[in-house]
Amino acid sequence: MLREAGGDGGFLKWEFQGVLTLRDKNEDEYKYLQFHVPQGYDAIEVSYEYEKSSKCVIDIGIIDPEGCFRGWSGSDKPVFSISAGKATPGYVAGEVHPGAWSIILGLAKIPPEGCGYRVLVKASRLGGHARVNRVLEESVTPLSVPKPAVAPGWIRGDLHVHSHHSDGKHSVRGLVAKAVEQALDYIAVTDHSTVSQVFEIREIKNPPVLLIPGVEVTTYHGHLSVWGGPWFDFRRRRLEDFARLISEVHEKGLAISVDHPRDLGELCIGCDFEFKQLRGFDAVEVWNGPWFVKNWEPLAWWHSLLSEGLMVTAVGGSDYHGGEGSFARLGEPTTWILVDSPTVWNVISSIKQGRVFVSQSPSGPFLGLKAYTGSSVFETGGTVEAKHGDVLKTVVEARGGDGAILRLISSQGVEEAVQVKGESFRRVKETPLRRSCLFIRAELGWYADPFSVNPGEDDTVFALTNPVYFKQAGG
């Protein structure tokens, strides 16, 4: 129900209230509340409330009259504002266009008895100067971000970080300071379903770390991270919606990852990806936050994808939100990426190529994998083209894993499990290449059964590499 409260000439007010039901959610997971802003107003403030409980969660965002998505804050911010000169983090400042604006309510959780809500909107005249911020509808070129003081080679960082532009506690500048403390070379700021953080990234001069603009496309049926570019619509609920998202990302030359595909029940809305039959994504976040939080589930799924013959990159991310007593810590796990030059484009390219390994922290362990046939050498992500019976030499280097078990794993199972001795350890294995072998990868950890392919809750992984892949010569 809409009640227009009018105003005194300096402002206008609108009030919406009602009850959202399971029928509403089944018909459309988003409800739209429309109000009309006349000419001459340059600021909007929105506040909302609902019957908060473990059974009821309502998210919120807004679209302007030109159809531009102007921001999203999930259920994190009960009040937000947009004006000519500034906006609440998560929202885009700029001209308040006259015409029909739409509040979006996301029906995240609705109990059988329904959920009451109330939304208040106020339009006012502040007399500010509009900024031209159309980042949510235009492509954000990765080349536009500031250049960092980072050397090429293996760079270590965090591919899944949240700032106060969604539900994180720190500004982007605050995250940069934390990244320096953790000795990281890069961080990807992947806020939920908004990219207003890009403006802050662009404002940071001479950053000590590479700042990767990103977005976590946060749906009620799975979360997916996209690195390097613009906003992507998160209002997706069917298999074909996600297939279209992958196509949209690839049309822009970017990379997309399925985040934390594990079942956490009521602890996280939409965290487990529902459409595991979907293919075409570039990466899987096999390690999200502390290892013990069921990360063996996405690792097992990733291994099954590799065994299908797919080339999908394993990545990690802390999912860091900040704050005292934060469950996750920045850079834990750490994703190491091999780049010729530390640019966003090169990071995206290396992720797609699988030039990546993951460790439990910025201090390691370091785990390197190479394969040799004749005089040719192949790094992680590379493809060896050889004949059946050709001798393959696999070399694994582990630094910082003294006492742990080093495993070589192929599509056939665990090929070898040996104990690491010393802080710097090198293992060489020569085997004839089998037709049925699709890949080889390395893993370091403690295992109840070292020859069981998929670790479980009694095991701990310290580091893992992406595979070297095999292709039959002439095939």
**pLDDT tens-digit readout, 115-156:** 999 999 999 998 755 554 444 444 344 445 666 767 789 999
From CA 220, how far away is CA 73, in angstroms rounded?
15
From CA 272, how far away is CA 94, in angstroms rounded?
36
Torsion sign, CA atoms 442, 447, 449, 454? negative
DSSP three-state, residue 26: helix
What are the boundaries of each domain within the chain? 2-124, 142-285+295-361, 365-475
From CA 90, how far away is CA 104, in angstroms rounded?
14
Q: What secondary structure letter does DSSP report for 280?
A: -
Tokens of 346: 């090169």
Indicate the fold that domain 365-475 takes in CATH.
Answer: Immunoglobulin-like (2.60.40)
Is the separation of the CB atoms in 209 and 184 below 8 Å?
A: yes
Q: Which residues of the chain have pLDDT under 70?
A: 1-9, 128-147, 149, 324-326, 474-475
From CA 28, how far away is CA 9, in angstroms rounded?
36
CB atoms within 10 A of CB 377: 14
CATH code 2.60.120.380 for 2-124: yes
pLDDT single digits (tens) 403-443: 999 999 999 999 999 999 999 999 999 988 887 889 999 99
Q: What secondary structure letter does DSSP report for 389?
A: T
Is the separation of the CB atoms in 341 and 348 below 8 Å?
A: no
The half-sphere exposure of 381 on its side-chain side, counting CA atoms within 13 A, is 19
Which amino acid, 382? G
The pTM score is 0.93
Q: How far apart are the first and last CA of the chain?
A: 65
Closest-CA residue to 161 (of 149, 174, 142): 174
Residue 129: phi, psi to the nearest 5?
Answer: -105, 130
Which secondary structure element, helix H or strand E, spans residue 68, and what is its range? Answer: none
Torsion sign, CA atoms 399, 401, 402, 406? negative
DSSP three-state, residue 355: coil
Is the separation of the CB atoms in 463 and 366 below 8 Å?
A: yes
* C-alpha distances out from residue 159 to 84, 98, 262, Å: 32, 39, 18
Residue 405: phi, psi to the nearest 5?
Answer: -100, 125
DSSP three-state, residue 267: helix
From CA 382, how far away is CA 466, in angstroms rounded?
10
Is the separation of the CB atoms in 160 and 259 below 8 Å?
A: yes
Is the separation of the CB atoms in 466 and 357 below 8 Å?
A: yes
Q: What secondary structure letter does DSSP report for 36?
A: E
Q: Give the residues across from 71 on adjacent strands.
A: 62, 91
From CA 54, how far away is CA 110, in angstroms rounded?
10
Indicate the fold that domain 142-285+295-361 takes in CATH.
Answer: TIM Barrel (3.20.20)
Residue 138 has a pLDDT of 41
Residue 267 has a pLDDT of 79
